[in-house]
Amino acid sequence: MRPMIALSSLLAALALSTPQAGAQGMSPGQQGKFCLKEDKGAINCTYATMAACEQAKTGNADQCTENKPAPTTGSGMSQEKK
């Protein structure tokens, strides 16, 4: 029973700590207020506070930034010239 609990805990911790790559394809779970940008290129926007993001850093080149939505035109349509 103990090994099963330990394995479940480990899998849950890994699932929560694995960064999602690419800010463009963010899922609803990626809508935190702060993003961790790793030096390897991975972006994880699941942090509610800057302090939580800072604690998750693993390398000197990692950066925490505010999660700002991408700018849009508001129309949802591209502006093409004819």
pLDDT in tens, the chain (82 residues): 565 565 455 445 544 454 443 444 455 567 899 999 999 899 999 999 999 999 999 989 999 999 987 777 766 665 555 5
Cα 1 from Cα 76, distance rounded (Å): 53
**Local structure of 37: helix, strand or coil:** strand
Q: What is the pLDDT of residue 79?
A: 59
Measured CA to CA, the distance from residue 12 to residue 35 in angstroms comes to: 21
Q: Round to whole Å and give the CA distance between 50 and 54.
A: 6
pLDDT at 54: 96
Does the pTM surpass 0.85? The reply is no
**Structure confidence at residue 9 (pLDDT):** 55
* pLDDT value of position 29: 61
